[in-house]
Structure 1
Amino acid sequence: MAINELESLGLDPENLRGQGYDNGANMKGKNIGVQNLILEKYPRAFFVPCSNHSLNLVVNEAAAASGATVSFFSLVEEIYKFLSGSSNRWDIMKSHITTASTLAPKNLCTTRWSSRIAAMKPLRLNLGKIIAALDEIENSTAFKDKVRYEAGAIIDKIDYPFVCAVCMWYDVLSHVNIASKALQSIDSDLQAAVLCLGSTKFFLEEYRSTGPEKVFSEATEICESMEIEVVFTNSRKRVAVGREINSEESFQNDFIDVVLNVAINAVEERFVALEKHNSTFSFLYKFDDFDQNRRNGNLLKSCKQLQVTLSKGEECDIDVDELISEMTVVAELVKHRHLVRVIDILNGIKSSGMENLVPNAVIAYRIFLTSPVSVATAERTFSKLKITKNYLRNSMSQDRLNGLATISIEHEIADSIQYEDIIDEFAASKARKVSFY
């Protein structure tokens, strides 16, 4: 189906040099997934997993790591639903939070993991004001007894372990949110993605050892300011005969470590393919030990590995011997101009007029830069369908829907088009009157 669609658009599938999808099993499957079926027929269309969808799945897996994490996010959702359940309750909340538009409780979304950081920020920065709003509702005679009871029940659930969980999730999601925004940048490439994801993995591993102490310290300070008792519900937990651990250690083992371990394992599992693919192209931008790699044969080995990746039968996009000589020229350019990013190296080759001198290197750089690091930006275009095909256009044909969606997505190009000329051309082609002069 995908190949047929490409051919209908006049695109030759033989020119495929990469394919990227979300991390669903039907797309990325090694045996019967779409990427494998295409790869069997077009071996140069190597698969690059979407880094943004990987982050999405990492966070979702960590959020469902245990019953404690599921219970925590259920309470976060309960707070939002209760306060937004009526305009009167929401007005009381806004009277306590002056910046309600940005720091009011937010709803959790199952398909947009970024909603979790949006929901966590108000709880981390305005938890005291949210509790004050709930307390006012509980003590107000303007509300029914059921509503007042629900407000009091939510307040009782906001205890020291809940505050600890808020502090931990806020730190983790804040870092992941920054990494996700960097990966969604229009300038992001495979080099930047690997560095960004590597820093995320390092942060999670570092936070696993240093984070608990920071969490307990911040949670204690917050609870003391709001007069919440700094104590865990279960003061002691027996784990083995003759050995007991305190509640703080139990919370760290059963909640913090579980979440971080699941997140770290998910990162390692989902980014293996991305790191492996990057290793094939890494010699294109790592020039620190270029002379040594050239002498000991590592450069030749890397070029041959790239040749295998870009080969189909006897056809190959590059010539190994020529590429080695060309990389020597590129190395001098990089050293002279102090270039670091791959896009800067390619632009440096073009600005120096060296494109015809290093054609194999240019091909390698272009393929590297066009590797589909993320498909999240492309998937956002699906939201245009809801705008285009509403209840007034419910009977719209598929061709018309595709045309209108394309105009909406490429609105910058559409704005530059002179519609008068198109209208005149359309009117002339549809004119039924015959001119006899």
Structure 2
Amino acid sequence: MKTFEFIFAMLMLDPILSSILKTSAFLQSPNINLLTAVEIVESLKKLLVSMRNTEDDFTDIYHKTILMCKNYDIEIPQLKKRKVSTKIDCLSSTQHYMSSKEEEMKVSVYYSTLDHIISGINIRFNQETMNMIQSIGNLLVLNTFDLNSDMLKTEINLLKHTDNIPKGEKNKCGDWINWLTQSNCGRETIFCNVIKALKTFMIIPVTSCACERSFSKLSIVKTKLRSTMTQDRLDGLLTVFIEQELAYNIKIDDVIDTFKNLTPVDRRMEL
């Protein structure tokens, strides 16, 4: 472990893996949507490409490695000059040699590592994720979501010429839904197809984490002792169990008052 190569690899991978870990944790968040996921992945790709194309990051890492090796009395290896073979063969190692240890670490380790990581990210997210985002426009006009394509286009044209719409690049789908569904304004009736499209887009899962969490909760709620419960009761119990943050904010007194004001027909027992 006390070698020049190990210290260089450790200092090189620290910023790379930190960025990947941050992105990975963000993609597993239950409150993420597709647009935000694409933005964070694109940011990660740009960061890695920037590290690959500029030598400042490598120079800083290499100088830190030299300094750490000197502080801990670790030998810094030096390259021996080699003579290029006069015979032409298929081995690139015999036709070129590195002039310094710094050049060797930059070409053989630093560039090679970043190229493999960037290539892997492009393979993972190019076909599956990016094409899905590009297909959202076609997905929203399907009859599966009960949307009228002609009316949706009309509503979008009306929104373009509305003065007090949410403006700015930082507006999210939730901001638009809140604006469209404001009470006593009538927008929810006029722009019903736009609201359906936005809600459909927001609930499309980015990862399988939320589904896996729901199935893990299902095995706890629906046990052998509850094998005969109806779907409505199961939905209600799972909603409370999965969305525990919302359940903690429920005021019990308000629930009791609501139940008390129900007519005898709407409830099964007296309070």
TM-score by length of 1: 0.44
Q: Is the 8 A contact 1:307 1:317 kept in 2?
A: no
Q: Match for residue 320 of structure 1? A: 149
Whichever residue aligns with residue 319 of structure 1, its letter is: N
Match of 1:426? Answer: none
The number of aligned residues is: 225
Structure 2 counterpart of 1:331: 160
- 1:166 and 2:166 are equivalent in the alignment: no
Q: Could you say if the C-alpha distance between residues 275 and 334 of structure 1 is closer, same or farther in structure 2, counting changes exceeding 3 Å?
A: farther
CA deviation after TM superposition for structure 1 residue 179, in Å: 1.9
Asked if structure 2 preserves the Cα contact closer than 8 Å seen for 1:235 and 1:247, the reply is no
Stretches of structure 1 that go unaligned for 5 or more consecutive residues are 1-156, 282-301, 389-396, 419-437
TM-score computed with the length of structure 2 as normaliser:
0.67
Runs (4 or more) in structure 1 with deviation over 6 Å come to: 381-386, 414-418
Distance in 1 (alpha carbons) for counterparts of 2:215 and 2:111: 37
Of the three residues 214, 224, 227, the one matched with 2:60 is: 214
CA distance in 2, matches of 1:372, 1:167: 36
Taking a change above 3 Å as real, the CA distance of residues 159 and 276 of structure 1, as seen in their structure-2 partners, is same
CA-to-aligned-CA distance 1:358-396 (integer Å, 9 cap, x gap): 11111111111001012224435778799x7xxxxxxxx
Amino acid across the alignment from 2:21: N
In the other structure, the counterpart of 1:276 is 131
Distance in 2 between residues matched to 1:401 and 1:222, nearest whole Å: 62
Aligned match of 1:243: 96
Whether the aligned pair in 1 keeps the contact of 2:34 and 2:204 (CA below 8 Å) is yes
Change (3 A) 1:353 1:375: farther
Name the amino acid aligned to 1:183. Answer: L
1:252 aligned onto 2:106: yes
Cα distance between partner residues in 2 of 1:400 and 1:414: 26
Provide Cα deviations, 1:342-371, integer angstroms capped at 9, x if missing partner: 211111111254111111111111111001
Q: How many Å apart are 1:193 and its aligned residue?
A: 0.6
Displacement after TM superposition at 1:415 (Å):
10
Displacement of 1:174 in angstroms is 1.3
Identity of aligned residues (%): 23
Shift in CA distance, 222/380, structure 1 to aligned 2, threshold 3 Å: farther
For the aligned residues, what is the CA RMSD?
3.7
Partner in structure 1 of residue 174 of structure 2: 343
Q: Deviations over 1:243-276 (max 9, x none)?
A: 3114333333333223222221221122122111
Aligned partner of 1:202: which letter?
A: K
Q: What is the CA–CA distance in structure 1 between the aligned matches of 2:135 and 2:40, rounded to whole Å?
A: 18
8 Å contact kept, 2:8–2:61: yes
Shift in alpha-carbon separation, 1:354–1:417, aligned structure 2, 3 A? closer
Aligned residue for 1:244, secondary structure, equals coil
**1:183-209: CA deviation from partner (whole Å, max 9, x where unpaired):** 333432111111111001111111112
Corresponding residue of 2:195: 362
Q: Aligned partners of 1:382 and 1:358: how far apart in 2?
A: 35
